[in-house]
Amino acid sequence: MPPRPYPPAAHPLGAPHHARRRSGTGASAAIGGFLGVLAGILVLLVIGANLLGEEDGPDTVSALPTPSFTFTPPTPAPYSPPNIDLPNRTAEATREAERQPTQVQRTPAVNRSLQNNSLYRAGRLPTVSCPAGSVNIGSHAQVKSLFLRTARCMNRAWATSLRKVGIPHMPPGYAIAAVRGRGACGDYPPRGSIVPYYCPRNTTIYASTSAMTRGLGNMPGYSTVTSWHGALTAIMAHEYGHHVQYLAGLTDAWWQRTLQSTSQSTRLALSRRLELQATCLAGMFMRAAAPSYPVTSQGRNILYYFHSRVGDQPGYPRDHGSPANNLRWFRMGFDHNNARQCNTWRASASAVS
């Protein structure tokens, strides 16, 4: 889920300290009285001077500007290729090379817009070896280990595809709690929710294993839909999809459009396009990992069924897309495994409702 902006906390000013008054002797009181009369005369002289010099009326005090908070995601560190030692050349070969025109390889400019982003030229995710093994989803240690193992697979797959189109890659961080915690974008899981979240402020994915599997309060966990750990991996792949959006500049473009919108329905529609795109990117990864994970035909059907049950629910804001469209976009990613198929920003309104 995308982060919500949290303005910085206000720090109230402390009350001024009042000096304590001390009683003195009679002489001190007399001297104090004389000084008080003298001070009073001086005050009257100052007031009179101000009244005589006042021509344009009293000065007005300008209101202090109201502080505002604008979320700007941090810029990822650029990818630095390793130093390569070139073989020694003879002096003649060196002179010959210097006589030849220099061939400069230019990296194409990265398009960070919503509809024409360079991400859509990345093509398919390469197949990655990512065996999940046997996982008891009731065990925090085993689920956390699964998340971290598959995270390394996501790093390998996405780094290859992103660098191919000039988008620098860096892995996200992870904070995985057994019950709950507090991250840079708020509590995890968010209040009244069981889902993990991605925070672009520090490019970290936050998750609670017990909330995801068993649920919180009256909100049941995902184990009521399926006990197969592949569904949990798909959820984390969705959060990684938000990281990919951040690296490609889609998150910033979405946020700027959201800030410019004055309509709540438009802001919700923008959020749905962002979320459904992350679901499509998750489908791409699950397809890339399918042979080794493994995702059998039965596992594929479980993933389809699972995504047909998640999404916007009655009584909640329509910011993630309907269950039917969550299934639509997960299948788009899984069936095609091609980034251009995940361009929700060019899709019809009904496809992202």
Q: Choose the weakest-confidence range: 16-20, 104-108, 114-118, 291-295.
A: 16-20
Q: Choose the weakest-confidence range: 64-68, 112-116, 176-180.
A: 64-68
Q: Between the CA of residue 174 and those of 91, 103, 196, what are the distances in Å? A: 52, 42, 11
Give dist(CA 171, CA 159) in Å, integer. Answer: 8
Q: Between the CA of residue 38 and those of 8, 32, 33, 34, 45, what are the distances in Å? A: 50, 10, 9, 6, 11
Concatenating the DSSP letter of every residue in 225-244 gives T---HHHHHHHHHHHHHHHH
What's the mean pLDDT in 101-111? 61
Average pLDDT value over all residues in the chain: 78
Give dist(CA 113, CA 111) in Å, integer. Answer: 6
Token readout for 34 is: 């004389």
pLDDT digits (tens, 9 = 90+) for 125-181: 999 999 999 999 999 999 999 999 999 999 999 999 999 999 999 999 999 999 999
Q: Which of 193, 159, 167, 135 is nearest to 320 (CA)?
A: 193
More confident residue, 275 or 43: 275
Concatenating the DSSP letter of every residue in 15-82 gives PPPPPPP----HHHHHHHHHHHHHHHHHHHHHHHHHHHH--S-SPPPPPPPPP-----PPPPPPP-PP
Q: Between the CA of residue 161 and those of 63, 117, 167, 278, what are the distances in Å? A: 52, 14, 9, 16
pLDDT digits (tens, 9 = 90+) for 32-61: 444 444 444 343 333 343 433 333 333 322
Give dist(CA 152, CA 333) in Å, integer. Answer: 20
Contact between 173 and 206 (Cβ < 8 Å): no
Give dist(CA 101, CA 171) in Å, integer. Answer: 38
More confident residue, 145 or 104: 145
**Beta-carbon contacts of residue 225 (< 8 Å; ≥ 6 apart):** 231, 305, 306, 309, 310
More confident residue, 104 or 155: 155
pLDDT at 108: 65
Give dist(CA 124, CA 117) in Å, integer. Answer: 15
270 residue type, one letter? L
pLDDT at 1: 53
Give dist(CA 327, CA 310) in Å, integer. Answer: 8
pLDDT at 107: 54
Residues in the chain, overall count: 353
Give dist(CA 335, CA 305) in Å, integer. Answer: 15
Token readout for 193 is: 């929710």
Residue with tokens 């788009």: 332
Q: Is the preceding omega at residue 171 within 30 degrees of 0, hence cis? A: no
pTM: 0.71
Q: Choose the weakest-confidence range: 161-175, 186-200, 249-263.
A: 186-200
pLDDT digits (tens, 9 = 90+) for 291-317: 999 999 999 999 999 999 999 988 889
Token readout for 30 is: 């007399």
